[in-house]
């Protein structure tokens, strides 16, 4: 029987017995399910199964991912508790922090950001409804794991999962979906309804502190319903306010130095560049574009996560009248009634060049999975990193890859067993100063006369070593390794505690003395 199995039996019985026969309470109650760590049997985090890792070529930073359960399954949050929620990993794929048990499992779009000059991370927290749409708020969390802001509590509407990005020191923009009544006149080919309901896509910029709306853009004032490529969904959508037809599906927004918004709309295969003052569409790029000539290898379908690319972070030339754009080219739609196929049968990360003089769009580089996969029918992200590498979150394919700018993969990891997707993936700074104490468990093997010590501190980024103490003296000092440090020592020690040390040997925090289990 494995030690974790011993813990499980003990908790189910209400206690665990130490080597002297006395009842020993557990510091962390074990929750039924799969746990990876003896010192924290109460958490069931995701695991990255790394297939490619070239440490000398990857960008030095932390990986952010938030696997989530399918929203259309009944009671999905209570039925599925393992492996979902916000996670941060080292660049080699080792877990650093999991929000399991700390933050709700209804979490998405975890990403590193800077707020008021402070490194933070943000994530969506709320309901997931059909079609990948969310109704909730955004949390801003600092390095002490304090929620310093919860944006959306004061506005008369709720945020959507797809986007939340800071646009200034105390401003942010997010997506919003609103069901509104709509006439279906002229759409008799697709629906028998004379009128019904559709989702209106809004861009909303707010003051983060007050939730005051600074800018609001209504898609129906600018984009007609006939630009949608998924009108066949009207056969099963649009009949009620809780089943609206999603004609546009905005999934990314960013604001540039000119104050204008770059917006991706999945259901029109189009990226829109919108004036940040008037709301007018400056140009369209994609299926409904008459503003650009798009080279065949630069076409895209059902895309996500459009962002401007700074050529100074890459080897791209900085030319007048030229801008570069990254996006995730899904090419698939999934559960559409009569899906219009994309241009190709695989998904890819994409960087394209926009030449304002010739009004042409050409391929700069594409990024593919190292092994053949079907299309990612939803979700996905592309992040150009500060060293010029490119990180791809493969969305519905629960995979994260990092590539040299030229396309060579230098990191490839599968999230768990591919059972839960991750909307996006990012890489960036992370500092963790948890307020909860470290955790320790020790086990004495009577046959080997060896005590094995397991110690961890969820989220801490400052540990360099552990002091291990008996009640009377310092037993040993061991280097910190991975999420859970494991150390074997000869002999039997009835109780132990661990003290975390930083790089200068300064104590950070310690555990309580915990009795050693015997097997």
| 412, 450: one domain | no
CB under 8 Å to 348, separation ≥6 — which residues? Answer: 328, 329, 331, 366, 367, 368
- Contact partners, residue 56, CB within 8 Å, separation at least 6: none
- Give the span between the Cα atoms of 270 and 248, in whole angstroms: 9
What is the extent of the structural domain holding 468? 439-518
In angstroms, what CA-CA distances link 184 with 134, 231, 315? 25, 11, 49
Tell me 288's DSSP state: T
**Pairwise CA distance, residues 252 & 173, whole Å:** 10
350 and 465: one domain?
no
Q: Both 405 and 481 in a single domain?
A: no
d(CA 387, CA 275): 31
Same domain, yes or no: 91 and 162: yes
Q: Does residue 340 share a domain with residue 193?
A: yes
CATH number (domain holding residue 422): 2.120.10.30
Q: Does residue 17 form part of some domain?
A: no
Predicted pLDDT of residue 81? 59
Express as a percent the part of the chain with pLDDT over 90.
78
> Is residue 445 located within the same domain as residue 381?
no
Q: Which of 393, 428, 463 is the endpoint of a domain?
A: 428
With beta carbons less than 8 A apart as the criterion, state whether 121 and 432 touch: no
Residue 10 covered by a domain: no
Shared domain for 60 and 202, answered yes or no, is yes
CATH number at residue 514: 2.60.40.10
Alpha-carbon dihedral sign for residues 441, 445, 449, 452: negative
Supply the pLDDT for residue 338.
Answer: 62
Give the three-class secondary structure for 182: strand
Find the helix or strand (DSSP H, E) in which 403 lies. Answer: strand 399-403
87 with 135, same domain: the answer is yes
435 three-class SS: coil
Rg, Å, the chain Cα set: 25
Judge whether 467 lies within some domain. Answer: yes
Domain boundary among 428, 455, 489: 428
Cα–Cα dist 184/192, whole Å = 9
pLDDT at 154: 76
Q: Could you tell me if residue 68 is inside a domain? A: yes
Reported pTM: 0.91
- Asked if residue 20 belongs to a domain, the reply is no
pLDDT lower than 70: segments of the chain: 1-35, 70-81, 156-157, 335-338, 372-373
CA terminus-to-terminus distance, the chain: 9
Same domain, 418 and 444: no
Q: Are residues 450 and 373 in the same domain?
A: no
Q: Is residue 24 part of a domain?
A: no
Rounded CA-CA distance 37/283 in Å is: 52
Which stretch of DSSP H or E encloses residue 400? strand 399-403
Cβ-Cβ contacts under 8 Å for 237 (sequence gap 6 or more): 243, 244, 245, 246
Residues 377 and 488 in one domain: no
Listed in order, strand segments (DSSP E) in 130-234 are: 133-141, 147-151, 164-166, 171-183, 195-207, 213-218
Residue 450 lies in a domain: yes
Count of domains for the chain: 2
Tell me phi and psi for residue 285, to 5 degrees: -130, 115
Looking at the domain assignment, is residue 148 inside a domain?
Answer: yes
Q: Is the dihedral of CA 487, 461, 137, 128 positive or negative?
A: negative
Render pLDDT for 372-422 as a digit per residue (tens, 0 to 9): 667 899 999 999 999 999 999 999 999 999 999 999 999 999 999 888 889
Q: How far is 503 from 190, CA to CA, in rounded Å?
A: 65
How far is Cα 374 from Cα 332, in angstroms, rounded to an integer? 9
Say whether both 316 and 420 belong to one domain: yes
Pick the last residue of a domain from 428, 462, 493.
Answer: 428
Q: Which residue blocks in 380-469 are alpha helix, DSSP H?
A: none
């Amino acid at each position: 029987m494995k030690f974790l199995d011993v813990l499980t039996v003990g908790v189910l019985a209400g206690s665990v017995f130490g080597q002297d026969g006395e009842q020993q309470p557990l510091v962390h109650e074990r929750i039924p399910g799969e746990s990876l760590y003896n010192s924290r049997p109460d958490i069931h985090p995701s695991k990255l199964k790394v297939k490619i890792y070239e440490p000398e070529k990857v960008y030095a930073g932390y990986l952010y991912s938030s696997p989530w359960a399918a929203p259309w399954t009944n009671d999905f949050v209570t039925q599925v508790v393992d492996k979902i929620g916000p996670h941060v990993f080292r660049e080699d794929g080792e877990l650093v922090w999991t929000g399991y048990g700390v933050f709700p499992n209804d979490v998405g779009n975890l990403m590193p950001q800077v707020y008021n000059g402070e490194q933070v991370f943000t994530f969506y927290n709320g309901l997931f409804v059909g079609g990948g749409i969310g109704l909730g708020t955004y949390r801003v969390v600092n390095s002490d794991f304090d929620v310093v802001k919860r944006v959306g509590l004061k506005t008369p509407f709720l945020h959507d999962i797809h986007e939340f990005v800071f646009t200034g020191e105390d401003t942010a923009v997010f997506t919003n979906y609103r069901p509104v009544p709509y006439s279906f006149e002229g759409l008799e080919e697709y629906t028998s309804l004379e009128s019904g309901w559709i989702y209106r896509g809004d861009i909303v910029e707010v003051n983060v502190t007050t939730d005051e709306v600074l800018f609001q853009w209504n898609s129906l004032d600018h984009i007609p319903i006939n630009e949608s490529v998924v009108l066949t969904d009207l056969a099963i959508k649009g009949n009620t306010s809780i089943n609206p037809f999603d004609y546009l599906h905005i999934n990314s927004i960013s604001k540039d130095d000119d104050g204008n918004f770059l917006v991706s709309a999945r259901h029109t295969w189009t990226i829109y560049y919108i004036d940040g003052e008037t709301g007018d569409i400056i140009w369209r790029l994609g299926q409904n574009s008459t503003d650009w000539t798009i080279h065949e290898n630069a076409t895209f379908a059902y895309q996500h996560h459009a962002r401007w690319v700074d050529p100074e972070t890459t080897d791209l030339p900085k030319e007048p009248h030229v801008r570069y754009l990254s996006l995730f080219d899904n090419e698939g739609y999934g559960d559409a009634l009569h899906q219009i196929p994309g241009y190709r049968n695989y998904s890819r990360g994409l960087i394209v060049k926009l030449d304002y003089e010739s009004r042409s769009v050409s391929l700069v580089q594409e990024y593919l999975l190292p092994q053949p996969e079907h299309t990612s029918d939803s979700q996905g992200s592309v992040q150009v990193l500060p060293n010029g590498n490119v990180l791809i979150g493969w969305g519905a394919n629960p995979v994260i890859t990092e590539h040299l700018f030229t396309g060579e993969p230098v990191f490839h990891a599968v999230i768990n067993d591919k059972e839960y997707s991750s909307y996006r993936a990012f890489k960036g700074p992370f500092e963790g100063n948890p307020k909860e104490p470290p955790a320790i468990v020790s086990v004495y093997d009577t046959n080997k006369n060896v005590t094995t010590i397991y110690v961890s501190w969820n989220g801490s980024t400052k540990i360099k070593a552990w002091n291990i103490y008996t009640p009377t003296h310092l037993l040993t000092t061991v280097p910190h390794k991975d999420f859970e440090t494991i150390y074997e020592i000869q002999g039997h020690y009835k109780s132990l505690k661990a003290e975390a040390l930083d790089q200068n040997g300064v104590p950070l925090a310690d555990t309580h003395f915990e009795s050693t289990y015997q097997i």
